[in-house]
């Protein structure tokens, strides 16, 4: 957080304004300008720039991705979600302390 404060202060911005700028640069490819381009390049170096995905609204009014994830992507996500310490184990351990 201290680095964010310093970066915001260096640009004479509030932290809120600075974070809005950074998040806009990361998620809105339509924004142009030297400042946005510089931020977007730095974020892309650490794979934090969002690539727009087309969505549609289904019959129930829910937004859906126009391209569903592949079976492999679903399997990878399920495998990743199953790793690590379960929340219930963390709660039990904390209660013992």
Mind listing the pLDDT tens digit for each residue in 47-57? 777 677 778 78
Contact between 28 and 40 (Cβ < 8 Å) = no
Phi-psi region of 84 (alpha: psi -120 to 50; beta: other; left: phi over 0): left
Instruction: Record the pTM.
Output: 0.40
Q: How far apart are the first and last CA of the chain?
A: 29
Mind listing the pLDDT tens digit for each residue in 16-72? 988 888 888 777 777 777 777 878 788 887 777 767 777 878 888 888 877 778 899
């Amino acid at each position: 957080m201290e680095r964010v404060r310093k970066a915001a202060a260096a640009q004479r911005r509030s932290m809120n304004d600075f974070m809005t700028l950074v998040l806009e640069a990361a998620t809105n490819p339509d924004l142009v300008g030297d400042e946005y381009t510089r931020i977007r390049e730095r974020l892309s170096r650490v794979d934090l720039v969002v690539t727009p995905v087309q969505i549609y609204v289904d019959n129930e009014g829910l937004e859906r991705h126009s391209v569903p994830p592949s079976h492999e992507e679903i399997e990878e996500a399920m495998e990743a979600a199953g790793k690590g310490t379960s929340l219930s184990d963390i709660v039990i351990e904390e209660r013992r302390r």
